[in-house]
Structure 1
Amino acid sequence: MDEILDLSHVELRDRPLIVCDVDDVVLHFAAPFQHFLRDEGYELIPRSFKLTGNVVSIANQVEAEASEVKELVRRFFDAQENWQVPLDLVVETLEDLATDADVVFLTAMPPLYRDQRRRLLDRLSMAFPLVASEAPKGPIMHRLHAGRPLPSVFIDDMAHNLQSVRDHVDGCLLLQMMPDSPLHQLAPKPGEGVVRATDWPHAAELIRAHIASG
Structure 2
Amino acid sequence: MPAVLPEDLAQFDWVARSSRPLIVCDVDEVVLEFVTPFIAYLDHKGLELRPSSFRLHGNVYRRDDGTPVSDRDISASIEAFFVEQHDWQTPVASAAETLAALKRHADIVFLTAMPPRHFAVRRALLDAHDMSYPMIATEDEKGTVLHLIHGDRDTKVVFIDDIFHNLHSVRDRLPNAFLINLMANDTFRALAPHPGEKVAMAKDWNETRDLILEFLEN
TM-score where L is the length of structure 1: 0.96
The reply to whether residue 29 of structure 1 matches residue 26 of structure 2 is no
The reply to whether residue 19 of structure 1 matches residue 24 of structure 2 is yes
Decide whether the 8 Å contact of 2:4 with 2:116 is kept in 1: no
Decide whether the 8 Å contact of 1:9 with 1:129 is kept in 2: no
State the distance in 2 between where 1:182 and 1:201 align: 19
| Pairing 1:1-214 to 2, within 5 Å after superposition | 2-3=2-3, 5=5, 6-10=8-12, 11-12=14-15, 13-213=18-218
State the distance in 2 between where 1:9 and 1:33 align: 32
Decide whether the 8 Å contact of 2:20 with 2:107 is kept in 1: yes
State the distance in 1 between where 2:47 and 2:4 align: 37
Decide whether the 8 Å contact of 1:177 with 1:197 is kept in 2: yes
Deviation at 1:152, TM superposition (A): 0.3
Decide whether the 8 Å contact of 1:17 with 1:103 is kept in 2: yes
Decide whether the 8 Å contact of 1:20 with 1:103 is kept in 2: yes
Deviation at 1:91, TM superposition (A): 0.8
SS at match of 1:2: coil
Question: 1:3-61 CA deviation, whole Å, 9 max, x = no partner?
Answer: 55432233323210000000000000000000000001101001111111101101111
Structure 1 vs Structure 2 CA RMSD: 1.2
State the distance in 2 between where 1:9 and 1:181 align: 36
State the distance in 2 between where 1:92 and 1:109 align: 24
Deviation at 1:180, TM superposition (A): 4.4
Structure 1 pair 43/117, CA: closer, same or farther in 2 (3 Å)? same
Tell me the number of residue pairs that the alignment of Structure 1 and Structure 2 aligns.
213
TM-score where L is the length of structure 2: 0.94
Decide whether the 8 Å contact of 2:20 with 2:106 is kept in 1: yes
1:158 alignment partner AA: I
Structure 1 unmatched runs, 5+:
none
Deviation at 1:183, TM superposition (A): 2.5
